[in-house]
Structure 1
């Protein structure tokens, strides 16, 4: 696997919990991705609406097995897998846990409360958070006006923070978040279409509602090292090494398609993160 990230980018990820890679995908590639996404019937039919604590809705569609559709060609690309391999704390093959299309529509797109991805994935009983990460690929511009991601720099070093329910979402204990904000820097992750953000499973992050006049869409792919077991996960993509495709796959494809009817999309009632375990009542999320 070729080296995708520089030594300085790898060092920044381990120090800060994230690294931004500008122009990770070309404008032409992003144009093709977005064009398919906005007309994807399966994506639209299977989108989950998750209310934030203020009642605004955030829409996402989540699937596990990456296919030969346009999203699969992106998530299986050599640059995505090579970058993940450089950052995961394991020498075992990179596997695809899931991908999701985040759709924050103008004026109505809801917030994501403060959380760590491992705050969700802990309920799947993944063992090693250092062997998991996410890559957010911006399909549209993301800035403070349309509710871009906010991160607490270096917060991945805190370990897992307790999480409870905040609206229909899972949110981090706000007492701990407020202490983190007194100690570490808050960063607004402003991205142009085609920029990518690699971030650690324990990085505290949130996003505000989209009250602007334009949408904010992103593709987020979550990767797991094959050496990292999960004892409460019924799907198997997280243990299946990715079949890597060329970085030119999107531009080389004659026909680009969206999700098929056979795609293993997540249903809200099947998500372990949204099921009560008992400890959530002890967490202050407001």
Structure 2
């Protein structure tokens, strides 16, 4: 795939080719972006009982739930080091063209056999409703488990960000992009499945149309997503995510050096019922 790259820890830089492909396709995939050691260290935090108690379910309109845990501030724990590290933040700033701040992060969980689907949508379909005037925003999707078709990997339409914002409507606990419009766009933008190994990352523009199927396999599918807004795109209305907050970067090695599994006070986890663009529900089993 022409917008796919390999991460080389000592030599990684955003090249002109990466920026060109990001602008053309709305995203780039970087393989081995997180090392096996980093993924294992991050999972110590994500799998902790204290972290998992903030997980909620989002109805997918078919009786299943896509599990989610959302926090607004990165904090000083392991996942905070991920959201603040140079290799993520600097890459986002070079791809989106300016200083960024942490808009929120989330753990997206699809348990075996019952993990719900995510409907076709743009992230900006949600974030537009939050008073963000420009689509100068992006998501870094990092696979924590092997993501493949069988367990509901991400599906996306490369180049669809050039179509602008699509109208969305509510279905279940999610927003769904206009299906007729999506069907027409698929005639021009070829559907891709983001099959990824743990540690691979997809840097995605907020207007890229994407979805994922339900997980009916016996394999769990977890992903860590860090979302960023450009500093000059401060929201114009009060909502459930942060206004511009300067981001204090850390070194890449601080991910593995961090010994704090979870920083509850520093993360500002979103409680049930706060997010008006998603209808969150309690889940019994994460």
TM-score (norm 2): 0.90
Deviation for aligned residue 1:236: 6.8
Q: In the alignment, what sits opposite 2:237?
A: 232
Deviation for aligned residue 1:240: 1.1
Q: In the alignment, what sits opposite 2:101?
A: 95
CA–CA distance in structure 2, aligned partners of residues 228 and 38 of structure 1 = 34
Q: In the alignment, what sits opposite 2:80?
A: 72
Correspondence 1:70-219 to 2 at 5 A: 70-89=78-97, 91=98, 93-129=99-135, 131-219=136-224
Alignment partner of 1:9 out of 9, 18, 22: 18
Higher helix share: 1
Deviation for aligned residue 1:261: 4.7
CA–CA distance in structure 2, aligned partners of residues 102 and 257 of structure 1 = 18
Deviation for aligned residue 1:233: 3.3
Deviation for aligned residue 1:87: 1.2
Q: Does 1:46 align with 2:48?
A: no
Q: In the alignment, what sits opposite 1:271?
A: 275
Deviations 1:158-200 (A, max 9, x none): 0000000111111100000111112210000011111100001
Q: In the alignment, what sits opposite 1:62?
A: 70
Deviation for aligned residue 1:40: 3.8
CA–CA distance in structure 2, aligned partners of residues 220 and 110 of structure 1 = 17
Q: In the alignment, what sits opposite 2:33?
A: 24
Structure 1 residues 235 and 107: CA distance shift in structure 2, 3 A: closer
Q: In the alignment, what sits opposite 1:258?
A: 262
CA–CA distance in structure 1, aligned partners of residues 127 and 174 of structure 2 = 13
CA–CA distance in structure 1, aligned partners of residues 13 and 249 of structure 2 = 14
Aligned length: 269
Task: Verify the 8 A CA contact 2:166 2:178 in the aligned structure 1.
Answer: yes
Runs of 4+ in 1 over 4 A off after TM superposition: none
CA–CA distance in structure 2, aligned partners of residues 153 and 64 of structure 1 = 28
Q: Unaligned 5+ residue runs, structure 1? A: 276-286
Task: Verify the 8 A CA contact 1:148 1:208 in the aligned structure 2.
Answer: yes
Q: Does 1:246 align with 2:254?
A: no
Task: Verify the 8 A CA contact 2:22 2:28 in the aligned structure 1.
Answer: yes
Task: Verify the 8 A CA contact 1:224 1:238 in the aligned structure 2.
Answer: no
TM-score (norm 1): 0.90
Q: Unaligned 5+ residue runs, structure 2? A: 1-10, 280-286
Task: Verify the 8 A CA contact 2:152 2:215 in the aligned structure 1.
Answer: yes
**SS of aligned partner of 2:150:** coil
